A and B are shown apart, each in its own frame.
Chain A
């Protein structure tokens, strides 16, 4: 527990073999997670519709590894301000990304068939184009 007391800010210049070990552990975990991500994206062993979710989970796990081992985020009392700022940032990121996807998906779903028909002239035009060739 006394170790957390040293970490008064992320990436304070610190020394000693134990910190070298922290970075190496982080690298090791990050390499494993990255390799798993690439394997998951290419394998046919897994249930295909679940793969995007699995990739998202792996990415979030790796970001956590980077935060803890490279940026030295801890839950100690010295890091409260950093953690609160990070939490607010994550909230904004979530609202921007999820909100955009939700609203735009809703707009797409709400398009009337009449609106969709506008897309057809384009499609038939390109069909003509390929037909002429």
Chain B
């Protein structure tokens, strides 16, 4: 009975009570969305700590390489384009889920996955190139903070890719049942949040970093 109610509310989102005070229990998808929103904010607070460490240590290069010598703006621009485009296709994916259109869902999910994977591949090759040139995390406090911050974001993207693959499999097996739709909703929140963190990241680390 609960599930039937949730399905109905899912289809008629605008008829849901506008606040918990007047309508008793909020529908489950709103509670889940809100809970995930709180998780994302705590994740962003964790990133804030890494950003603070980076900002404090950015000049502690210990005679090692500085950002200007290490970062390639072209790579960063392509990475940014990949992540922004994948955020957009992720939005289109949630529209396809809302319309319950399987074909459009698979197409947008595949594009989102491919763009996210391209971002991750570029970042890994960038890291590999830096390490080859001797700019390892052990070299200086600046590089430790850099790898911790950018690596943590890359790790999040990697987890997001695995999550997306699992969601595609779940849609293939279970179709758009309410629990799957809720997970997809959380996934798109997660993916958009990663893009927001990347905006701060490329501005602070890469663009401010290349200036003397």
B14 close to chain A: CB less than 8 A = yes
B128 close to chain A: CB less than 8 A = no
Tell me the complex Cα distance, A88–B38, Å.
10
Tell me the complex Cα distance, A108–B93, Å.
49
B19 close to chain A: CB less than 8 A = yes
In contact, B185 and A70 (Cβ under 8 angstroms): no
In contact, A97 and B48 (Cβ under 8 angstroms): yes
Task: For residue A31, give the distance in angstroms from its CB to the closest CB of chain B.
Answer: 7
| Contact A82:B34 (CB < 8 A) given known A27-B88, A92-B48 | yes
| Contact A8:B84 (CB < 8 A) given known A38-B73, A92-B48, A101-B52 | no
List residues of chain B with CB within 8 A of the CB of A67. 196
B13 close to chain A: CB less than 8 A = yes
In contact, B95 and A23 (Cβ under 8 angstroms): yes
Contact among B10, B30, B95, B210 for A41, CB-based, below 8 A: B210
In contact, B80 and A100 (Cβ under 8 angstroms): no
In contact, B181 and A13 (Cβ under 8 angstroms): yes
In contact, A12 and B19 (Cβ under 8 angstroms): no
Interface members, chain B 184-212 (any A CB < 8 Å): 184-185, 188-189, 192-193, 195-196, 199-200, 202-204, 207-208, 210-211
| Contact A13:B19 (CB < 8 A) given known A70-B91, A93-B48 | no
Total chain A interface residues with beta-carbon distance under 8 A: 54
Main secondary structure of the interface of B (DSSP, over half): helix
| Contact A15:B98 (CB < 8 A) given known A9-B29, A20-B92, A23-B88 | yes
In contact, A96 and B48 (Cβ under 8 angstroms): yes
Interface members, chain A 75-120 (any B CB < 8 Å): 77-78, 81-82, 85-86, 88-89, 92-93, 96-97, 99-101, 104
Task: For residue B27, give the distance in angstroms from its CB to the closest CB of chain A.
Answer: 8
Contact among B41, B52, B98 for A14, CB-based, below 8 A: B98
Interface pairs A-B: 9 shortest CB-CB: A13-B98, A100-B52, A89-B41, A59-B203, A41-B207, A23-B91, A93-B48, A15-B99, A9-B33
Residues on B facing A (Cβ under 8 Å): 10, 13-14, 16, 18-19, 29-30, 33-34, 37-38, 41-42, 44-45, 48-49, 51-53, 55-56, 63, 73, 77, 80, 84-85, 87-88, 91-92, 94-95, 97-99, 181, 184-185, 188-189, 192-193, 195-196, 199-200, 202-204, 207-208, 210-211
Please list 24 pairs of residues, one from A and one from B, whose beta carbons are closer than 8 Å in the complex, sorted by A's number.
A5-B14, A9-B30, A10-B189, A11-B188, A11-B192, A27-B88, A30-B84, A34-B80, A37-B203, A59-B204, A66-B199, A70-B192, A78-B18, A82-B37, A86-B41, A92-B45, A96-B48, A97-B48, A97-B55, A100-B53, A100-B55, A101-B55, A104-B56, A126-B63
